[in-house]
Every structure is written in C-alpha cells, then in structure tokens.
Structure 1
Amino acid sequence: MLKQKPFSAHVTLANPLIALENSVTAAAFRQTPLFSRWRPIDAARPAMSASWWQWVASTDSLTARLMVAGGEKPFRVRLLRQGVGWPRQDEAQALGIGAKRYAWLREVALCLDGTPWVVARSVAPLSQVKGQRLECLGERSLGSWLFRQPGLVRGPLEVTTHSPQFASVNGIQEGCAWGRRSVFYHGCKHGSLSLLVQEYFLTAMADDLGLPSR
C-alpha cells in the first residue's frame, strides 16, 4: 500500500487536503537538489517505440486512456501530497516564475487494481490558483477539472527518461519508462492560470500492458 508522506521532515499533517490559506505556514514540500532533464518530444521520437509514442504524444485525457487500457481493473487516483511549497528549478523555469515564489503543488499516483501505472506532479503559481478550488480535488483526477475548462491551451510537450524523485519519497520504487510535461494555459473570470503537469509512465504499466521498455 502506498503511504502518504508529510510535506517536510519536520511537520506531519493530519489532513493532506489542507486549505491553501493555511498551508504556506503549515508545511512546505521537500526540495530535491536534482531535477529531470527535459527535451522536446520530437527530439525523442527516434528513440521511442511506436507503442509508447501513442501514449506519450497523446493530448487527450490520460485518465480516460488509462481506464480503457485497464479494462475491468478498478482505477483510482491516489493522492500522495498536496499543498504549498517552492517549485523545483526546472519547474519554475517552465512556468516563467522565480524559484523562491510559492506555488500550489500536487502529487498523485494513477493506479489500476492498486498498482501505480503513472505518477504525476502538478505545479501552478499560488497567486493564480485562488478561486479555482483545485485544493478540493482530493482523489479526483486533475484532468476531470482541466479538460472541462473552455479556452484551454496546451503548450509543447517535453519528455524525459529520468525517474521522478518525488515518487521514491512517496514510497513508489517503480522505474520510469517515459516522463512527459507541458504547461496548460487557461484564461478565466478569476484571472489567467498557468499549470505545469508532469506525468511519468512507470515500468509496472509497461509490464501489465506488454509494452517495450522504451
């Protein structure tokens, strides 16, 4: 069973779905010194099998794709951590913000029959998420909110083969076949929102679906 980790080594939260207004002073996400190396998806295509290209290059709802691929296996979004902290350096660069600017952070595992197939980390500037009620998602997928937003624009896809550090922090030891990320842009009545979504396809998914390692 996956175990939920506290936001820092010094603070343990009784309820991971803390309000954004309180989480700045209550907790911060653990920072890691290393970050994944990202490159445009077209640059990675020669090294990517056709089977994985269909997954990694897709721009529709990943949740819906996983549910179809899983067949009768029950699907669940497992909330790992959620709150406020500082983005990693590469995340701040992708969003065009300072590395010491507070952001809303969310880490989840997308599980089929209890097995994590995908882990994901989403980051948005804290000043932009007020009024969006993203902190209320709980164990609903971010896509269930995201793809209902009118006028949504998705930035270019980037990919990596580096495993996400946050997965091991949350007790997930699976390797990563491919990781992808893109920034979603949404202009709404509460103001513009830039949301970085990073999704890592795990080796357990490859094993269950008979996909090649890359």
Structure 2
Amino acid sequence: MSAAWWQWIASRDSLTARLIAAGAPRTFRVRLLDQRTGIPRLDEAQALGLPMHRQAWLREVALCLDEQPWVVARSVAPLDDLRGQRLDQLGEQSLGSWLFRQPDLERGDIEVTTSPAGFHSAQGPWGRRSLFRHGHFRVLVQEWFLERMADDLGLPSR
C-alpha cells in the first residue's frame, strides 16, 4: 500500500472531517442509500459477537463531494445496543459526526481489505472496517474508498 493510501486507511480520526478537508472547496454530502433493520452478513455478525439471524440496524450511505461518491459505508449495530441512541433519525447526517462527539468513544482495530464485501457495485482500491464502542453501544463501521476519490486526489490505484 502506498504511503498516500496508508494515511487514509490507518487514520483513526473522523473520515467525514478528513473528506471535507481534502475535498474543499467542494460541497460534502451524505447520501442515504438504505437504512433498516435486518440480518447482518455472517462476517458482520461475527465481528459484533452476534448470534446468527439476530436483527440489527443496517445503514448504507455514500459520502459525496459535489454529488460524486468518494466513499460508500455500511454500518451495523445490534438492536439491543441502540437504547435511546435515535440513530434512525440521522437521515443524511454523518454517523461519524455523531460518533466522534462522544467523549468515551473507543475504536477497535482497523481491518483492511481489497474486497468490497457487501458493496456489490463498488469499484475502488481499498476498504476498511472497525468496531466503535460508546458505553454499551457498539457499531461496526465499514468504509470502501472509491476510484473517483483516488482519481480526484491523484492517489495511486494501490
């Protein structure tokens, strides 16, 4: 992996804030693609320690600059952990903006991938995921960096 990509993949701060800064003066927008309760994929359930077929909150978004998607993200949270979090009302607001305002936020290890599991039409060089904890709340956040972002920032293909 190039040093330029490593700075994006290994960063532990808010991806939303990094995208806004890198894309300036372009307009940042979260495009809500899907939000519902459903059954997580096997790998997601395992990462969260959920029994198979347990319902979870699922959210998929595109993080866009000037309406062009740079990143697609999928978040999965156990329904039992949502107690009062009201994340279903985020709409087209960034989950990251909410997460990084939590004073006791803990981020687990970052797993890197070159396979866009769950993002069937995603074309891009890298993806990552990590588990966030805030009190008893847990959410698995998976992000796939798209070719458009690489092209716009002049990043190498790998």
Normalised TM-score (structure 2):
0.97
- Partners of 1:81 and 1:210 lie apart in 2 by 30
- Partners of 1:115 and 1:139 lie apart in 2 by 15
- Determine which of 145, 151, 154 is the counterpart of 1:210: 154
Instruction: State the Cα distance separating 1:130 from its structure 2 match.
Output: 2.6
Partner of 2:81: 128
Between structure 1 and structure 2, the one with the greater Rg is 1
Partner of 1:117: 70
State how many pairs are aligned: 158
1:180 corresponds to 2:128: yes
Q: Is the 8 A contact 1:122 1:197 kept in 2?
A: yes
Unaligned runs of 5+ in 2: none
- Partners of 1:163 and 1:183 lie apart in 2 by 17
Overall identity of the aligned pairs, in %: 68
- Determine which of 179, 185, 193 is the counterpart of 2:137: 193
Query: RMSD of the TM alignment (CA)?
Result: 1.0
Partner of 2:16: 63
Q: Which runs of 4+ in 1 moved over 2 A?
A: 163-168
Unaligned runs of 5+ in 1: 1-47, 169-173
Report Cα offsets for 1:121-157 as digits up to 9, x if no partner.
0001011113101001010000111011121111101
Partner of 1:15: none
Superposed, 1:21-36 pairs within 5 Å as: none
Q: Is the alpha carbon distance of 1:167 and 1:71 closer, same or farther for their aligned partners in structure 2, counting shifts above 3 Å? A: farther
Instruction: State the Cα distance separating 1:164 from its structure 2 match.
Output: 3.9
Partner of 1:87: 40
- Partners of 1:166 and 1:146 lie apart in 2 by 22
- Determine which of 50, 53, 59 is the counterpart of 2:6: 53
